[in-house]
Amino acid sequence: MTGLGDVLRSIAGRDGVTAALLLSADGLPIEHRARGPFDPETVAALAATLAQYGNRFGLSVQRGDLRTAVFEFASGMVVLAQVGTGDWLAVLAVPDADIGPLLSDLRHHRPALATLL
């Protein structure tokens, strides 16, 4: 059986991905994998805040709860995806990463990820 650590290791091992972090709705890191320096506590806290504001935005424009968001920054991208009832997956990637397959996998395998929690 595949465990949560194995799933995060697989995500973090993708081309262009530098880190994967599972975090609680409260902004606490649950588990993470990274290829280099990474501050899971700070990323978890800020990602949870983004998720809360994303949910508020979605509800205000009558689109419902946030499920997945992609943030593109000057030095890379962050994918934030809801897994389970309140936990989130944050994936950090380099600027030129092809995140299309990752987004597709997250959409199709979201229920399986939730069962690992």
- pLDDT digits (tens), the chain, 117 positions: 467 788 888 999 999 999 999 999 999 999 999 998 899 999 999 999 999 999 999 999 999 999 999 999 999 999 999 998 889 999 999 999 999 999 998 888 888 777 776
Q: How far is CA 109 from CA 14, 26, 70, 104, in A?
A: 16, 23, 17, 8
Domain boundaries, the chain: 4-116
CATH architecture of 4-116: 2-Layer Sandwich (3.30)
Q: How many CB atoms lie within 10 A of CB 95?
A: 11
Alpha helices for 4-39 (secondary structure H): 4-12
Q: Side chain identity at 50, as an amino acid letter? A: L
Which residues lie below 8 Å from residue 85, measured CB to CB, with a gap of 6+? Answer: 114
